[in-house]
Amino acid sequence: MNVRVRFAPSPTGFLHIGSVRTALFNWLYARHTGGTFVLRIEDTDTARNTEQSLRTILDGLAWLGLTHDEGPYFQSQRAAIYRQRVKQLVDAGMAYEREGAIRFKMTREPIVMNDLIAGKVTRELGDREVNDPDFVIVRSDGNPVFHFVNVVDDLEMKITHVIRGEDHLSNTPKHIALFRAFGVEPPKYAHIPMILNKDGTKMSKSDPDPVKARLASLTGYIEDGYLPEAVRNYLCLLGWSPKDDRQVLPIEEVIQKFDLPQVLRSNAKFDAAKLEWMNGQYINRLTGEELDRRVTGIPGADVAYRRRVLELLKSKVTLLKQFPERTKYFFTDDFPVEPVDAALLGKLADRYACVPTWDAASLEAGLKALATELGVKTGQLIHPCRMAVSGQTVGPSLYHMLEVLGRDRVLARLRKT
């Protein structure tokens, strides 16, 4: 079987992180099986659709590297197909008109489905449905409803596996009944459990807590300086596991191992701190050249110097947006300095002025030798030196920092105090 899966978002707002994971799992399954990943835009809600939302969806998927093989298809351009399919059901006696709407004759028998994640699910008619289980497929205004166009599109696009959020599980019996009415075997269904906040609440873009609301939208991660490969890696692990303790996994390995029966049945909890840690791991693996392409807001025209600065600081950073603030002292002498022993630092400046090779090893040896001569602990030189040249009490390795800053900057700052 040639596997065909689809991601079908509505362009009515920001791209929810749960929708992103759904897209990711569809993409992973398509890549794992050598199948086709279809992008379909469900844009029939003309009152809420916006061009900005569509752009957010397309840009977000591109940022994550979730390239589609077909599409995007737009439901708003497929009205003729829906009308023909409605007529097919009416002509076959499977649908009828009542009060201006077209209703589908729902089966009265229980529907049993074998979900690839949820397992065997039996849907019987509810008390309110016993006497009238039929449901509307075309509203009185002539617009077809979600259930109908969803099935028609999956049928027309030959979708073999529908991988979607668990909130759609209750809709699936209606969809199965529609497929069978068209004389077509339904696709295989796989309903992914929800992603919840760490406290167990639902992730929502309208959450009154602004921190939680921001976590629910992909846009926030892009703006805050997350790497797409880190976000993608973390979302892979929300509901799926490679069966070992590793957290940072190359996407090629995830594609090789990913399969739907491995998706966990329980809801996943989103841990923002873990994602930020993982992002730091990915940042630390980048070269200065790679970081220079991704980091914005760093001044200075000396590309080689800028890349050395980024390389030096990368192990201390977890978000790309942190680089400009944490690298300021490499590009300006205008920063506050706490009081230090100027005489002691003057002696260190004199010693450093005589260092033949300006590298970390020579600078470390020079400072330690001076400390021994003066009868002081190395810390009595290290901490004032760091303050004088950076205005910071903590940071990267002092000697490597001095090496990158360069002889002229360091000597000038040591003698300025």
Give bridge partners of residue 315 from the DSSP assignment: none
268's tokens: 């996943």
Dihedral over Cα of 363, 364, 365, 368: its sign: positive
Q: Residue 248: which of 287, 222, 285 has the closest Cα?
A: 285
- CA distances to 62, 87, 96, 138 from 92, in Å: 43, 8, 10, 16
Catalytic site residue 205? yes
**How many CA atoms are closer than 13 Å to the CA of 120, on its beta-carbon side?**
2
Tell how strand 119-123 and strand 111-115 pair up: antiparallel
Give bridge partners of residue 162 from the DSSP assignment: 189
Contact predicate 267/238, CB 8 Å: no
Cis peptide before 72 (omega within 30 of 0): yes
> In 3-state terms, what secondary structure has residue 95?
strand
Q: Residue 397: which of 327, 312, 329 has the closest Cα?
A: 312
Tell how strand 36-41 and strand 70-74 pair up: parallel
Cα 136 to Cα 98: distance, rounded to the nearest angstrom: 9
Number of neighbours of residue 301 by Cβ within 10 angstroms: 6
| Helices and strands, counts by H and E, the chain | 18, 12
Cα 196 to Cα 270: distance, rounded to the nearest angstrom: 6
Number of neighbours of residue 114 by Cβ within 10 angstroms: 10
158's tokens: 């030959």
Rg of the chain over Cα atoms, rounded to whole angstroms, equals: 30
- Residue matched to tokens 């992730």: 203
- 337: alpha, beta or left? (left if phi > 0; alpha if psi -120 to 50): beta
Cα 239 to Cα 355: distance, rounded to the nearest angstrom: 56
Name the strand (E) or helix (H) holding 136. Answer: strand 135-138
Q: Which of 202, 205, 257, 321 is catalytic?
A: 205
Contact predicate 21/239, CB 8 Å: yes
Catalytic amino acids?
Answer: 205
